[in-house]
Amino acid sequence: MTDQTKFKNMAVALDIGTTKVCAIAGYLNEYGKLEVVSVGTVKSEGVSRGVVSNIDKTVKAIREAVDIAEKSAGCKFKLIHVGIAGQHIKSLHHHGLLVRHDSNTEINQNDIDKLIKDMYKLVLPPGDKILHVVPQEYTVDDEQDIFDPIGMSGVRLEANFHIITGQITASRNILRCVEKAGLEVADVTLEPIASAASILSDEEKEAGVALIDIGGGTTDITIFKDGIIRHTCVIPFGGNVITRDIREGCTVMNEQAEKLKQKFGSALADEIYDNRIITIPGFKGRDHKEISEKNLARIIQARAEEIFDYVLWEIRRSGYENKLIAGLVLTGGGSLLKNIDLLAEYHTGLPARIGHPVEHLAHGYTTQLASPIYSTAVGLLKYSIDNIANAKNAYVEEFKQITSVIQEDKIEKVQPRDLYEDQDESDDMSDDTKEGKKGKGIFNKLFTFTKDFFETVPDSEF
């Protein structure tokens, strides 16, 4: 494949996380595998629990990550695919119905598109917006549990939908940050769905699996069964809360707590046998601080168990607790914690494994990309390439329309005042008089018109 063909088919994805911002570029080779051209990763400081909290810092991080990726790729990026997450993400289920006028014709993709389009008309709480509409099972007349109704005949086409929503303000901030960084947004994808694209196999999705993406600020859950997304949610806890507990429990600095977690941390205190003593340097000649490895593990285990309590509660709420034959797949930076897969098995009673984003990568990928830390970034790239024909997502288009309507409203509010102001008089007025005239507007004009009318009418007419 020539370089020109590579750049033509290349997609660029952006993962804006709580701990890092990652820009990744790549394309599909002739064997259908993902060839990663470049990766740019920088520390994230303007994002809290998956939501942008500081525009300027986030814009700076995006620009730095994209610059690194552009230098490695040897080209400039313009169109970029962005992931969205955060505790504002919610999901709901809804039933759709389409009555067809001609029962003799076959059901086609247009009928399914009409059903999906109707879902975007749902009334949501103020400030929420639909991100994804995922079809579940279809029903044609009285025939239920149909996964692909195209080609069938029938009058009533029904479907169950899994609808994912998010706050439009959170999405607006992400779009604003990307545009301020000099880039254009192609589409917005839910990060848990993207992670599943890079981690899970088709067999796991068919058998039933729950993907647990433990990030820095949030833990994303995606449940699959029969190859279809059944449940999605975001838990507002991640690896950062474990670091904070270590900092407070061991009375150390945040950077020291993070290093303790990464180098010596374990999610199971019972698996610590030698119980080594970890020595931390003191400040400015003060005494060193000593922490036992078992006590460190106890602090980590307590918070990790709390996260898995929420995970188990969400799995039970989805109704698929006894249908997950493939069990749990853990990914994200939090899955690098030692023995966390064992703790997940003990705490939930489901089999667990650590997921690495190598399912669709072409041979020769770097060790860096094989880390669970990059599961969302690789998944966003894979998902964007698979859906590159529908890159102009309706969600982004609707957002742009909303923005233009707001701007038009502002223009319309300014225009009426100009229509009713007397331009000839205003030219001879002083600045102070102009301000007074401007403040009265149309009421002054109406008063003058009424006064002239009564003065010109003869007394005999009353």
- Non-local CB neighbours of 49 within 8 Å, separated by 6+ positions: 18, 86, 87, 217, 218, 236, 238
Integer Cα distance of 253 and 271 in angstroms: 26
326 falls within a domain: yes
Same domain? For 286 and 340 the reply is yes
Same domain? For 156 and 263 the reply is no
Closest CA to 214 of 195, 230, 189: 195
Q: Please determine, for residue 72, whether its predicted confidence score (pLDDT) is greater than 80.
A: yes
* Cα end-to-end distance, the chain, whole Å: 94
> What tens digit of pLDDT does each residue of 343-386 get?
999 999 999 999 999 888 888 888 888 999 999 999 999 888 88
Q: Please determine, for residue 224, whether its predicted confidence score (pLDDT) is greater than 80.
A: yes
Closest CA to 97 of 142, 159, 147: 159
How far is residue 145 from each of residues 14, 140, 148, measured CA to CA in Å? 37, 9, 9
Question: What is the amino acid identity at position 128?
Answer: D
Same domain? For 457 and 335 the reply is no
- Mean pLDDT, residues 3-28 taken together: 82
Alpha helix ranges (H) inside 157-292: 168-180, 191-199, 202-207, 239-250, 254-264
Name the least confident of 165-179, 288-302, 432-446: 432-446
Integer Cα distance of 11 and 205 in angstroms: 25
> What tens digit of pLDDT does each residue of 130-143 get?
988 989 889 998 88
Q: Please determine, for residue 456, whether its predicted confidence score (pLDDT) is greater than 80.
A: no
Same domain? For 155 and 251 the reply is no
Q: Residue 225, Cα to own-chain centre: how many angstroms?
A: 22
How far is residue 298 from each of residues 214, 261, 291, 301, 354, measured CA to CA in Å? 19, 12, 12, 5, 22
Integer Cα distance of 94 and 131 in angstroms: 14
pLDDT band at 403 (very low <50, low <70, confident <90, very high): very low
What strands lie across the sheet with 20-28, from one edge to the other? 34-43, 20-28, 11-16, 79-84, 184-190
Task: Specify the long-range contacts of residues 262-266, CB closer than 8 Å, at least 24 apart.
Answer: 262/336, 264/293, 264/296, 265/296, 265/297, 265/300, 265/337, 265/338, 266/293, 266/296, 266/297, 266/300, 266/301, 266/337, 266/338, 266/339
323 falls within a domain: yes
Same domain? For 111 and 219 the reply is no
Q: Please determine, for residue 147, whether its predicted confidence score (pLDDT) is greater than 80.
A: yes
Same domain? For 150 and 211 the reply is no
Q: What is the CATH number for 333?
A: 3.30.420.40
Among 358, 385, 404, the domain-final residue is 358
Q: Please determine, for residue 413, whether its predicted confidence score (pLDDT) is greater than 90.
A: no
Q: Please determine, for residue 176, whether its predicted confidence score (pLDDT) is greater than 70.
A: yes
pTM assigned to the model: 0.78
The residue range of the domain holding 218 is 201-358
Same domain? For 303 and 440 the reply is no
Q: Which token pair is 332?
A: 């994200």
320 falls within a domain: yes
Say if CB 231 and CB 221 are below 8 A apart: yes
Confidence (pLDDT) at 210:
95
Q: Please determine, for residue 100, whether its predicted confidence score (pLDDT) is greater than 90.
A: no
Among 305, 337, 358, the domain-final residue is 358
Closest CA to 261 of 336, 347, 370, 342: 336
Confidence (pLDDT) at 389:
52
Integer Cα distance of 294 and 435 in angstroms: 75
24 falls within a domain: no
Same domain? For 220 and 110 the reply is no
Confidence (pLDDT) at 40:
93
Same domain? For 305 and 224 the reply is yes
Report the chain's mean pLDDT, rounded to a whole number. Answer: 82
Please state the φ and ψ torsions of residue 41, each to the nearest 5 degrees.
-130, 130
Same domain? For 133 and 238 the reply is no
Integer Cα distance of 81 and 13 in angstroms: 5
Same domain? For 207 and 131 the reply is no
Same domain? For 214 and 301 the reply is yes
> What tens digit of pLDDT does each residue of 25-63 get?
998 888 888 999 999 999 988 888 888 889 999 999 999
35 falls within a domain: no
101 falls within a domain: yes
274 falls within a domain: yes
Q: What is the CATH number for 154?
A: 3.30.1490.110
Looking at the structure of the chain, the number of domains it has is 3
3 falls within a domain: no
